[in-house]
Amino acid sequence: MTNVLQHVVFPLDRDPDLLPLYVDPETWSVIDEKPVRVSNRAHLGNILSRHSARIVAGQRDSFGTYFNAFPASYWQHWTSVRRIRLTVRTTGSATILVYRSNGSGVRQRVDTCEVVGDAETSFDLALTQYSDGGWIWFDIVADSQTAVLEGAEWTTEQEPTRAGKASLGITTFNKPDYCIETLRTLAAWPEALEFVDRIFLIDQGTQLVAEQEGYAQVSDDLGDTLQLIHQPNLGGSGGFARAMYETLQRSGNDFVQLLDDDVRLEPESLRRSIVFGQYATDPLLVGGHMFDLLDRSKLHGWAEVVDEAPFMWRGLYQEKMPHDFGKSNLRQSTLLHMRMDADYNGWWMCLIPLDAIRQLGLPLPAFIKWDDAEFCLRASKAGFPTVSMPGVALWHVSWVNKDDTIDWQAYFHARNRIVAGLLHSNIPRGGRLLTHSRRVDLKHLMMMQYYPVALRARALRDVLSGPEHMRQNLLTAMPSARALAAKFPETTVHRDPSTVLRSRHGRQVFEPQKPTDGPSGLRLRWFTLSALLSHWLRGPSASNIDQPQVEFGKEDAYWWRVPHFDSALVSAADGSGKNVYTRDRAKYRSMLRETMRLHAELKRRWPELQEQYRHALPELVSPQSWQQIFEEKA
């Protein structure tokens, strides 16, 4: 039996920014060791359908692209598939060329074939030389007349290791329009839906999906496949836990596929993730990559890891992200040919085998932040690795216009990171975690950002109270954190169009820099000590309180610049207005004492707390515990 591993597809939207992810009809040259476009002939008019495209006479189109090349290294490493077949259907006279790469991005010709008229051409390929990395792809060169790619697939005769379907779990809070669009996309593509047993849409908002225009039609289209569940806002962890819990109650499923709400989905990616999970030699988690929904050729989330010593997440080769495929496509991007191993994948898109859930339980009742990383770390310890899979992706609003470390989410960033460290850090007393956490507070204090420091102190006190607090405040932690903002004037974003906020000394403009361009070594220690002492000993000038002293753009307001001033105007992350930061010596002194005390107590009690949280984990994440939460909060 022939099993399709991957279809060659073209974008659902007529968006020129998407074309480089699907087809690369450009000629490249190398100038000063950098790839440079020599010509650009990418036209939406040459995309004929979801599976077909026109190759203009004399033109060479490459399908060595993010969505249409075959990620051979991942298939060789994680599955037992060793033979695949590429089948290409064409009309017209053309030459088909098949290429491969290795982990260093070196290109090699594998095969070639000239075709005439209506042709179906197959290439049998071995997956035996891709241990470190590498893709396989094909190019088509049209002869003197236009040719058409009618369709292409990557297939195998090998049967999958497991044949169960997946349920989808979509968690939403007041994003009904996004949800309707995702449901419409799924309903329109049976190639993806054939692998889906049930779609659990967990609506935790007040703007209900069921009341959104278009819901009735898409509900009819999906029929019994769609199941809408309404519950109070238990955060991402509560919504995804509900999807996992409901999937466990059904038979015939091997997986649950988690999807965020504010996304645009490539349905072929959904199909690929489930198929890859079915073929994996051992059960594993299949994560999807994240492209920027507002800048759609940019890849923001690739393989992600948790650094052990500071116990902090980051992307592999984070300094190389985001990667813009509009400027450097797959064939020109050496780094993207390497096989990258991940510690976890964000739950904007992640396939989880039910074997893992049955063995490990559900997510921590964390509300948001670190629930995905913690679950993946827990899974890895139990022998369920996470694969961040190329060619499996969606579009999500990126973090470019956000700064959730200084809003109400600062509570969850701090608490959940420390809880995850208590559960999974193998370094005595968490290594540098608490030192790094304390430094975060010091930076906020020096920048006159008192609200996140108050939230982080609350988070540390809750951690010290023991693990049961996570269940107790699951429904109240977020509204309580948001309510606290009223006590901190710097949280107000000034947007009144009738008022122009000005600083006494104008806007401070700097040459573009990176966050790492600040002081380091002895200069860093001296700067920190002098800034802390200055804020402790010296009160702000009255004139600087009446009117902000300086103004910073968001990109210029680094922690080593703002502390030199008594007050500052700083642009909001989304550019919608300005925040006013003002030095408050009384708050500063009180909060500095408190953060030093709390971090010292956490360090002293770390072994005791570690034992408490690890002992409580099985109960916190058990289906029975979550069932009780669902029933209590209903």
The pLDDT of 112-134, averaged and rounded, is: 97
Average pLDDT estimate for 424-433: 95
Whether 554 and 569 have beta carbons less than 8 Å apart is answered as: no
pLDDT in tens, 354-393: 999 999 999 999 999 999 999 999 999 999 999 999 999 9
Question: Average pLDDT in the 408-437 region?
Answer: 97
Distance between CA atoms of residues 310 and 521, nearest Å: 18
What is the per-residue pLDDT across 319-337, written as a single tens digit (0 to 9) for each? 888 999 988 899 989 999 9
443 or 44: which carries more pLDDT confidence?
443
Q: How far apart are the first and last CA of the chain?
A: 47
Give pLDDT, residue 516.
Answer: 54
Residue 30 pLDDT grade (very low, low, confident, very high; cuts 50, 70, 90): very low
Same fold, 3-156 and 165-303+341-396: yes
Q: Is the pLDDT of residue 170 over 50?
A: yes
Phi-psi region of 311 (alpha: psi -120 to 50; beta: other; left: phi over 0): left
Confidence of residue 522 (pLDDT cuts 50, 70, 90): confident
* For range 108-119, the mean pLDDT: 97
- 591: Cβ contacts below 8 Å, ≥ 6 apart: 441, 445, 450, 453, 454, 457
Percent of residues, the chain, with pLDDT higher than 70: 94
Percent of the chain with pLDDT over 90: 77
| CB contact at 8 A, 68 and 22 | yes
pLDDT of residue 38: 47
Specify the CATH number of the domain 3-156: 3.90.550.60
- The confidence band for 506, taking pLDDT boundaries of 50, 70 and 90, is low
The pLDDT assigned to 517 comes to 66
Averaged pLDDT for residues 82-101 = 98
CB distance 347 to 372 below 8 Å = yes
The yes or no reply on domain 165-303+341-396 and CATH 2.70.150.10 is no
User: What's the pLDDT band for 42 if we cut at 50, 70, 90?
Assistant: low
For the cut 60, the answer to whether the pLDDT of residue 152 exceeds it is yes
Domain boundaries along the sequence of the chain: 3-156, 165-303+341-396, 410-587
Q: What local confidence, expressed as pLDDT, does residue 525 receive?
A: 86
At 521, phi and psi to the nearest 5?
60, -135
CA distance linking residue 6 with residue 275, whole number of Å? 9
Does residue 85 carry a pLDDT above 50? yes
More confident residue, 348 or 500: 348
**Residue 176: is its pLDDT beyond 50?**
yes
- Confirm if 488 and 447 have CB atoms less than 8 A apart: no
Is the pLDDT at 514 greater than 70? The verdict is: no
Q: Around 77, how many Cα atoms within 13 Å sit in the side-chain half-sphere? A: 21
Distance of CA 33 to the CA centre of its chain: 31
For the chain, give the mean pLDDT.
92
pLDDT at 543: 85
Better-predicted residue by pLDDT, 606 or 13: 606
Average the pLDDT over 473-488 and give the result: 96
Give the mean model confidence (pLDDT) for residues 34-57. Answer: 76
Please return the burial class of 97, using the count of CB atoms within 10 Å of its CB with bins 0-12, 13-18 and 19+.
middle
Torsion of CA 546, 552, 558, 564, to 10 degrees: -40
- Alpha carbon separation from 119 to 114, 115, 353 (Å, rounded): 10, 6, 40
pTM: 0.93
Q: Which amino acids are annotated catalytic?
A: 372
Mean pLDDT, rounded, for 228-252: 96
What's the confidence (pLDDT) of residue 14? 87
What average pLDDT score do residues 18-22 get? 94
Please state the rounded mean pLDDT for residues 255-261: 97
CA distances from 202 to 234, 346, 367 (A): 10, 18, 14
Q: For residues 364 and 362, give the distance between their C-alpha atoms in angstroms, rounded to a whole number.
A: 7
Beta strands 165-172 and 253-259, pairing class: parallel
Q: At 278, is the pLDDT very low, low, confident or very high (cuts 50, 70, 90)? A: very high
Return the pLDDT at 28. 44
Q: Which of 38-47, 57-66, 393-402, 551-560 has the lowest mean pLDDT?
A: 38-47
- Does 462 have pLDDT greater than 90? yes
Is a pLDDT exceeding 60 seen at residue 494? yes
E strand intervals along 412-516: 507-508
The 10 Å Cβ neighbour count of residue 228 is 16
